[in-house]
Amino acid sequence: MIGVGGFAADTILFDTTLKPFEPDVAEYRFALPQGKGNIEIKAGLTYRWAFKPLADSKGWSLDYRSMREVSKTVPF
């Protein structure tokens, strides 16, 4: 059994763990503002030792460890 949030789990339904040195790809879609110009896109990877909604419900304080941040300006 695996300890999960203070409980013992019998099965793992899905695993969101990022694997070391393996790429992870996700796709997001957003509505663009009216007009033309440039858009700045910022993305960051933050390590937390617990799932945020669980920590919030338990009143736990989470340390945020920024692992990587990137930004890019693109025309549209």
| Residue 69: both structure tokens together | 């941040």
Cα 25 to Cα 20, 22, 45, 50, distances in angstroms: 14, 10, 13, 22
What distance in Å separates the CA atoms of residue 63 and residue 76, rounded to the nearest whole number?
36
Interacting residues of 52 by C-beta distance below 8 A, sequence separation 6+: 62
Global pTM value = 0.53
Domain regions of the chain by residue span: 43-76
Averaged pLDDT in 10-residue chunks for the chain of 76 residues: 61 80 88 84 87 88 88 90
DSSP 17: P
* Residue 5 and residue 50 in contact, taking contact as beta carbons nearer than 8 Å: yes
